[in-house]
Amino acid sequence: MMRVPAPIIAALLLAGCATPGAIEVTRFHLGTPLPRAGVAVVPADPALAGSLEFAHYADAVAAEFARAGFERAMSPGGATYLAEVGITQASTALRRPSPFSIGFGIGVGGGGYGGGSAVGAGVSGPVGRGRIETRRTTALRIRLKRRVDDAVVWEGTATDAVSSAPTDVAVPTLAHAALIDFPGRSGMTARYPLPRP
């Protein structure tokens, strides 16, 4: 009986749990051309208005709108569009399997009168409880609205469930992915690889 070495089994267990890093982006719009004009970035939560934390996020989102051909309006009153930004982040604890494994094997054999037989069995499994890994899921939602009638003309959500980056690092990356090919295909989910650190 051939027995698979314990280190190889452990490597296969770890590989089976790996998930390639990617940002998932979903967009919705009416499919009609959007005239490029001034955009003011505002928080979905009014309590964040004027905070230094949101100012950092607003700069990142405004920079990506500028790449798409929009001008930044520094106040909502002077803007044609309002880009309403909401950010959520949640943490999940994942248990990784132990990298150590131990194997056990038994065999029974016998023979007589010119014949023989043998039976073998082996069991291998991880040793130890493994380690706990905390994974952050960060989601950035942008709703582009006409200021005059509050109508939503474009909406995009970018989600990163792999990199575990802090919010101030994740948001600029998510904003870039959400607006990279503005307006994008409506109702479709696109996947973009996470940039390497």
β-pairing, 115-126 with 131-146? unpaired
Domains, the chain, ranges and CATH?
31-95+136-193 (3.30.160.670)
CA distance 61 to 72: 10
pLDDT digits over 73-117, tens only?
989 999 999 999 999 988 776 666 655 555 555 554 554 444 554
Helix axes 52-67, 167-179, angle to 10 degrees: 20
Residue 148 DSSP class = T
Beta strands in 45-114 (DSSP E): 71-72, 81-96, 101-112
Which stretches of the chain score pLDDT less than 70? 1-20, 93-130, 133-134, 162-164, 196-197
Q: Rounded to 5 degrees, what are φ and ψ at 48?
A: -90, -10
β-pairing, 81-96 with 38-43? parallel
- Residue 55 in tokens: 């100012």
pTM over 0.95: no
